[in-house]
Amino acid sequence: MTVSATGLEYVCLARHGQTEWNQQGRRQGHLDSPLTPSGVLQAERNADLLASLPVDAVFSSPLGRARATAGIIAARLGLPVEVVEELREVHHGRIAGLTDAEIARDFPQVAADRARDKYRYRFPEGESYADADRRAGEALRRIEATGARRPLVVSHEMVGRMLLRNLAGLDVRTALACGHPHDVVYRVRIGEARYERLPAEDSTTTGELP
């Protein structure tokens, strides 16, 4: 599903700040861990960046790390935070809380199975990117229905890729290759095959989408 909403002018996408489990290399999914001091600083920097843009609403995943990040940004913008359940991260099932080394030890088949079809692969007792793709589309429909024109959406890396896919009409391969650092905001202009990475790393981070 590609968003073609006439009410939305653009959508800003932010990822939560770094957490303790991010620092430890642990998969979080629907589990949670607190923001690190660096994560708080990342949220504050994103807040400063977004203060220079016309943002008229802030929406957040229900998970604590996203809500904490959204709260920091929203306070800077003088806006409330509205929670959208569909913005939660991909459910990692039985591998949640584990490092990659622990996953390789306890679930040795995961890497090979996932490599065969990363988009449709479902974590043991968890979700797939395809599941998150459907949720992302529903989240954006809910956000559009609020009447917001220039919203900020605070979510996570995996579901964030699917939000970008829905907003910009990316193919699956391109969407899965998109990284989303904690201190970067993507702005997608609706109806254009174009997005901006803020702050831009270099001149190639703003350009026509494939």
Q: Cβ–Cβ contacts within 10 Å for residue 98, how many?
A: 18
Whether 182 sits among the annotated catalytic residues: the reply is no
User: Percent helix, strand and coil across the chain, each rounded to 5?
Assistant: 45, 15, 40
Residues with Cβ within 8 Å of 70's Cβ and at least 6 positions away in sequence, in order, are 58, 59, 60, 81, 152, 154
Identify residue 193 by its one-letter amino acid code. A
Q: Which of 16, 91, 156, 180 is catalytic?
A: 16
Q: Which of 89, 91, 127, 182 is catalytic?
A: 89
Residues with Cβ within 8 Å of 73's Cβ and at least 6 positions away in sequence, in order, are 14, 43, 46, 47, 50, 58, 152, 154
User: In degrees rounded to 5, what are phi and psi of residue 13?
Assistant: -115, 125
What residue has token string 């939560």? Answer: 16
Whether 89 sits among the annotated catalytic residues: the reply is yes
Question: Annotated catalytic sites, by residue?
Answer: 16, 89
